[in-house]
Amino acid sequence: MPKLTEIRLARAEQVLHLAWDDGVTFALPAEYLRVESPSAEVQGHGPGQRVTVPGRRHVGIMRIEPVGHYAVRLIFDDLHDSGIYSWDFFRVLGEQQAERWAAYEAALAAKGLSRDPPKRG
Lowest mean pLDDT: which of 6-20, 32-46, 96-110? 32-46
Residue 4: pLDDT over 80: yes
61 domain-assigned = yes
pLDDT at 35: 96
Distances (CA, A) of 89 to 69, 117, 119, 120: 14, 26, 33, 35
41 domain-assigned = yes
As a whole number of angstroms, the distance between CA 96 and CA 59 comes to 21
The DSSP symbol for 107 reads H
117 domain-assigned = no
pLDDT at 121: 67
Say how many domains are in the chain: 1
12 domain-assigned = yes
The CATH number given to whatever domain includes residue 34 is 3.30.2020.30
Domain that holds residue 81: 4-110
Lowest mean pLDDT: which of 21-30, 46-55, 101-110? 46-55
Mean pLDDT, the chain, whole residue set: 94
pLDDT at 7: 97
Are 22 and 81 contacting, i.e. CB atoms less than 8 angstroms apart?
A: no
pLDDT at 55: 96
